[in-house]
Amino acid sequence: MAETITIIDDRTGKKVTVQVKDGVFASSALRELDPNLRMYDPAFLSTAACSSSITYLDGEAGVLRYRGYPIEQLAEKSTFLEVAYLLLNGELPTTQQAEKWKFDVTHHTMIHENMRKRFVDGFHYDAHPMGMFISAIAALGTFYDDSKNIFDEDVLNKQILRLVAKVPTIAAMTYRFSSGLPFVLPNNSMPYAQNFLNMMYRIGDDYTVHPALARAMDVLFILHADHEQNCGTTTMRVVASSHADPYSATAAAAAALSGPLHGGANEAVIHMLHEISDVKNVSAFVEQVKNGDDRLMGFGHRVYKNFDPRATILKKAAYDVFEVTGKNPLLDVALKLEEVALNDEYFISRKLYPNVDFYSGLIYQALGFPVEMFTVLFAIPRTVGWLAHMSELLKDKEQKISRPRQWYTGVDERNYVEMKKR
């Protein structure tokens, strides 16, 4: 079978034949027909803006792989730091590489005292942690004047290491500030997720991290580490394409993540479950959604049209966590909602299934996180994915500064009218 597509311009009779590889063709071929031809693709539904070898996603089959490794295997057998190394470097680390990576990350967890004392203390007492997180990441870049030197690989890798190491410290700091609690310094003898939970919850000497909960946190981090060209990662690539420094680009990506249709959905799920509050109200809520008066948060995905493999792993992880913490009272509402929706024609015909955010919020809540922290929890591991994409982009000879075209639909030229004549 020919792996080509022939496109005919009926206006001129010109035709062009283009190669199709893996279901993709280079749209630049269209310019051969007419240099002014544009493809109108709002929200990039049919556009591959880059080639990437980091994450593979098959939405129809519910497949997600990092660098070829199935997410199910990584969630079961790996650790977040190992997955971070894999995403950033392309291969799983050897014992020696893993030790060095772990040592390096755990020895870059501190942040400058000015960040804590002056920058974070300057926020209003009820500032949203995600707003604090986004601005703190951008501010962090100002402490490293070499951070703009993005084409020096060693320098770039140093910033990547700093960001991966410091995001949990910043995240925990936003929480401690919101709660009026003193900051807890990073503990370099603890593994990544355990150290984060310790910075979140330690009061004096009175806190031990339960190993099952630290593992659940680590699995949550693994599942959120990358997800190819989603809104936040696309933002990362667009901003990095202007050769902005990694801190500015990461802050921009985090800002994209904060919206309720993206990383903010886990927070919205909990608000929704609270609003429903009882299994007996589920059917009425689902009717509201079908009438278009509401949206079933944590359901639906631009790419997954069968199931989201992360949601399957998280549903099981939720039960493991509840064994330690006791059941989240909203679980029954969530289970009923899932059951009703999965058997309803509206959701079946639109291929709407639970996504990663449907169960993650319940686990976060059981781990003691306030809902305002949920998107920050997503941003910690996703920082790794964003930076892997930035590194890849900077090495990609086919990439230039992102600059899409538009379809102008405004008024034609007209003359300025003096105020008194309007």
Catalytic residue set: 262, 301, 357
Position 299 contacts ligand CMC (CB under 6 A): yes
Letters for 259-288 (x = contact with ligand CMC by CB under 6 A, - = none) are: --xxx-x-----------------------
Among 169, 230, 312, 375, binds ligand CMC (CB under 6 A): 230
Residue 401, CA atoms < 13 Å, CB-side half-sphere = 4
Quick check: 119 and 147 in contact, CB under 8 A? no
Provide the residue type at 269 as one letter. Answer: V
Using CA atoms, how far residue 265 sits from 205, 304, 355, 356, in Å, is 35, 16, 10, 9
Give the CB-nearest residue to ligand CMC.
300
Using CA atoms, how far residue 365 sits from 37, 102, 118, 267, in Å, is 50, 28, 30, 10
Using CA atoms, how far residue 398 sits from 21, 49, 122, 125, in Å, is 17, 11, 43, 46
Among 148, 295, 305, 315, binds ligand CMC (CB under 6 A): 295
For 319, phi and psi rounded to 5 degrees?
-65, -35
Q: Which of residues 350-389 bind ligand CMC (CB under 6 A)?
A: 350, 352, 355-357
- Of the listed pieces 11-19, 90-98, 238-246, 295-303, which binds ligand CMC according to CB under 6 A? 295-303
Tokens representing residue 151 in the block: 């084409």
- Of the listed pieces 81-89, 185-193, 255-263, 325-333, which binds ligand CMC according to CB under 6 A? 255-263
Residue closest to 221 by CA, chosen among 313, 323, 330, 352: 313
Among 148, 302, 305, 315, binds ligand CMC (CB under 6 A): 302
| Torsion sign across C-alpha atoms 317, 318, 320, 324 | positive
Least Cβ distance, residue 240 to ligand CMC (angstroms):
19
Least Cβ distance, residue 248 to ligand CMC (angstroms):
22
Letters for 183-222 (x = contact with ligand CMC by CB under 6 A, - = none) are: ----------------------------------------
Which positions touch ligand CMC (CB under 6 A)?
227, 230, 261-263, 265, 289, 295-302, 350, 352, 355-357
